Chains A and B, each alone.
Chain A
């Protein structure tokens, strides 16, 4: 490992200026991806520009929707009570990322900018309609996250650009979300498959969902869905995102379209799972076989959706009923 210079700018502008003036420089936030790449000799920067000393880059602002500074750590996000209730998918991802030690230093900005197909916060941010606010030598711009990822390790960032924050809209009480990370281990593992969902629902003439209690039984998903159908629950809006099934985290847009506006039913959910599986191009690797990944898309899309619905109708038990989903 060769030595490198280390800079600790105090402002974004200073960081961008440094980047422009030094050949072969590399931004570093928590360093949990950068240091690994360095050891694997995938990168050999002459200089590192740390983003950790920039004040005002690690905030979590919940005043109007959600704004998360790119240097916010996964631990900070995981512990935020508002995110826990209203942006469950993101909470799901941050609580299952790496280990406590990793989450204490690793940042959301690093996770997204590293652009691994398996990045855990990517699918949640996709379904939560996040936009990246980017600052660079030519000024600032805004990009929908769906336009941010270009391929494995490739983003729309141009030379010297820094992601300042991620901005998400406000979702009302009829919206729930979830992220399911399918792994072999309970910690320190990358997903074989990651599925995020967000759904906004409406029930006939504003009445309460009567089959609420079914959600805390061991009743099968299809039974619950049948009851929801009887009660006329409708999907008003939906997002589905999938990780590790393509060169970048992707949205299952056909599945989203097929779900939107429909009355929820077991048949519909089966169909949505199939459509989503059809939108993926999973591959065989030592981490998982393609056929298995495709099968799991069918299963986990269903589970992520019903988990999201669960969170709408039982918000007070929001974080994790002991169920398979």
Chain B
């Protein structure tokens, strides 16, 4: 562990030159001989009955090869978590992203023109756009067959006795917080190419982040088409960002398959930027009621939260984010009594999906804002309140998480020190400081029955290795991390490690890129496979060098004896001897790593992850009292990562996460009015630009996680979790107004300031 030569080093991302020079092949770039282009016709209204559909004109347009509607899809074929979403809709449309028909043509322009020739007649219906309205008795039903708009997915966590704790609390605060829809803004828009061979085996070129699970979804789809027992191969092109958006399979992919079946040609569907905004699934918006209590000394006594999530018209993974929200709700700081209830409600809005943090940012915004309110009420410095209640190694939380390594206090201390908290807190002058912490899964997350990932390693004739991993690189850099781990174990240069990670025909199984699990789970799988093959190499070299395997090691691709430095053999030579011998052999090893974590039980309790990631963010802001604008003067992001396998990539995750959090806090919001998206473009969707990046200090706290590869824990998601509440808390410190509804726009700050001064703003 001490003499690491590759792990722990700042090594640039392997794919960076490809991307910087424009030679990476994204799904947009992919061309397959004979390929057709597919386009989708979406609903004009958020809620309407389709009374007529005529595709005859479109079919007649020269260059059009197929036009499909719901009647071409297998009846009753539904997709999504609750199987409530037909890929092509008929009868009623329930949102503006409802797919009604699709076209395959010889060019995207012709396909587009064909769409304009499809005649749809609608009878517009009144829509339901407010989840609180939709929950009421007698509200119009979104799905008529369901008895209620409330999704049959009841989320409820009870630990201890909140009611009793309330009676014993010295201080209690209660408030309501809300968060908007925000979208991933992947630079690479969604897309796929579906291709069927003569026997109807499917190859789907895709940018999914769940190749193995998607394979299963498409097999189900082929079954529904009556094509039983077919093979499905997923080939991933270079993925231009995912952030959770590609964690499910979508209607457009099934439509591409249908069009490929109809035309017997490969069919490509790639989203325009406009489609990427309105037809992909954002982070869910939430309304959260929270109350928090502590005793006289500031020890937390209880936390109670009640949440309503707008589910939109259909159900994808967004509906399951309350499971991850439970993580901070039950276990961010030591809080003995916890109650949490969440309801997802169908509306005629867009439906949601996983997005970096998976619910954690929404929950943490409420928790960490409320905690500052509690500190003020109890007359304790918010920093001391946090430190007093901070999580510690060895703790078992109310939800039964077993905390192993935990650097929460160190992170809080780093923030306090680097921000000059004591010198700056409460000093006025329109400047203020704020902080917020986070807990997230850091050692996988058993959300499926398995949390596993496989790795295969084979050696070539020259001492170089091919690593086949189930883990996808969606831009986060897993390819580089896996190469580092394998190179470190085998004692070979990193350039001698080739990572293959994009083809289900050759890569082993994995549950996907989610839950910040890839470095931890795929890293451990690569570590296991590398150790196995190293043992085999040493065995062979031992024979050739007439030594004991135990006294051999590898460095720079050469096997050597630790006892007698004269005795060496280059790896390539040893392998060639193995291959070119009568009755020879080859070297290959495989390893499947499935962490020893637990599924939640029926009460949503259990040790979801084998380790937990911690962090704390601190921010200094200046508020312009006349305009309501908030300027970030300093930003500290301290993260307990176990061990930084690659500090450069790690800092990249922290900066990237922080910036995404900044957008969430101060600018980003998908503006839906009566079911229509009003700002589906980068001009009006206020994602921060490079010029909006404040000075960010990424602080890496290493706690050496015993189960992590080289001690590492996950860091993919944590970077954005505490950003919004840290900023909200700093604004409160600066000017005494608390914004409880994200994003914190200048309008809201100014209106709150006016209200505080007893003026009206309008």
Binding site for B on A (CB under 8 A): 1, 99, 182, 184-190, 286-289, 291-292, 295-296, 299-300, 324
Contact = CB atoms under 8 A, between A and B. Distances in A.
Given A185-B689, A299-B627, A287 B109 contact: no
B684 A187 contact: no
A310 to B, nearest CB: 17
A55 B683 CA distance: 33
Interface residues of B, number: 23
Contacts of A189: 683, 686
A184 B692 CA distance: 10
Nearest to A291: B762
Interface string B669-701: 001000000110011101011111000000000
Contacts of B745: 184
A58 to B, nearest CB: 27
A288 B747 contact: yes
Contacts of B692: 185-187
Interface in B748-762: 750, 761-762
A222 B759 CA distance: 21
Given A1-B109, A288-B747, A289-B747, A185 B686 contact: yes
| Majority-rule SS of B interface residues | loop
Given A185-B688, A187-B691, A324-B624, A286 B679 contact: yes
B137 interface: no
Nearest to A287: B684
A188 B762 contact: no
B690 A187 contact: yes
B746 interface: yes
Contacts of A295: 750, 761
Given A286-B678, A286-B679, A287-B684, A292 B750 contact: yes
Nearest to A293: B747
A182 B627 contact: yes
B689 A190 contact: no
Contacts of B109: 1
Contacts of B493: none
Contact of A186 (B626, B627, B691, B762): B691
Contacts of B690: 187
A1 B113 CA distance: 9
B689 A187 contact: yes
Contacts of A186: 689, 691-692
A185 B747 contact: no
Nearest to B762: A291
B430 to A, nearest CB: 10
17 contacts: A99-B689, A184-B745, A185-B686, A185-B691, A186-B689, A186-B692, A187-B690, A187-B692, A188-B682, A188-B689, A286-B678, A286-B679, A287-B684, A289-B747, A292-B747, A292-B750, A324-B624
Interface in B529-554: none
Nearest to A303: B626
Nearest to B108: A1
Interface of B: 109, 624, 626-627, 667, 671, 678-679, 682-684, 686, 688-692, 745-747, 750, 761-762
A224 to B, nearest CB: 15
Contacts of A187: 689-692
Contact of B667 (A184, A300, A324): A184
Contacts, number: 46
B746 A292 contact: yes
Nearest to B671: A286
Nearest to A221: B626
A174 B761 CA distance: 37
A185 B626 CA distance: 18
A65 B686 CA distance: 39
Nearest to B673: A286
A300 to B, nearest CB: 8
A291 B761 CA distance: 7
Nearest to A96: B691
Closest 3 CB pairs of A and B: A186-B691, A187-B691, A299-B626
Contacts of B682: 188
Contacts of A291: 761-762
Q: Which of B626, B686, B750 has the most CB of A within 10 A?
A: B626
A197 B750 CA distance: 24
B689 A296 contact: no
Contact of A184 (B626, B671, B678, B686): B686
A286 B685 CA distance: 10
A179 to B, nearest CB: 16
A197 B717 CA distance: 46
Given A186-B692, A286-B671, 13 more contacts: A182-B627, A185-B667, A185-B689, A185-B692, A187-B689, A187-B690, A187-B691, A187-B692, A188-B683, A289-B747, A291-B761, A292-B747, A296-B627
A119 B627 CA distance: 21
B506 to A, nearest CB: 40
Contacts of B627: 182, 296, 299-300
Contacts of A289: 747
Contacts of B686: 184-185, 189
Contacts of A288: 747
Contacts of A286: 671, 678-679, 684
Given A185-B688, A291-B762, A190 B683 contact: yes
B529 to A, nearest CB: 45
A177 B205 CA distance: 57
A38 to B, nearest CB: 13
Contacts of B689: 99, 185-188
A35 B750 CA distance: 37
Contacts of A185: 667, 686, 688-689, 691-692
A186 B667 CA distance: 12
A324 B624 CA distance: 8
Nearest to A186: B691
Q: Which of A1, A189, A287 has the most CB of B within 10 A?
A: A189
A26 B354 CA distance: 45
Contacts of B624: 324
Contacts of A299: 626-627
A289 B109 CA distance: 38
Contacts of A287: 684
A36 B690 CA distance: 23
A310 B123 CA distance: 62
Q: Which of A182, A188, A190, A288 has the most CB of B within 10 A?
A: A188
Contacts of B761: 291, 295
B674 to A, nearest CB: 13
A256 B683 CA distance: 33
Q: Which of B678, B691, B745 has the most CB of A within 10 A?
A: B691
Nearest to B684: A286
Contacts of B667: 184-185
Contacts of A182: 627
Contacts of A292: 746-747, 750
Contacts of B747: 288-289, 292
B684 to A, nearest CB: 6
A99 B689 CA distance: 10
A287 B684 CA distance: 7
Nearest to A2: B109
Contacts of A188: 682-683, 689
A230 B364 CA distance: 53
Nearest to A188: B689
A151 B671 CA distance: 27
Nearest to B679: A286
A232 B627 CA distance: 29
Nearest to B692: A186
Nearest to B689: A187
Nearest to B688: A185
A303 B679 CA distance: 30
A120 to B, nearest CB: 14
Q: Which of A185, A189, A289, A296 has the most CB of B within 10 A?
A: A185
Contacts of B691: 185-187
A51 B747 CA distance: 41
Contacts of B679: 286
A137 to B, nearest CB: 35
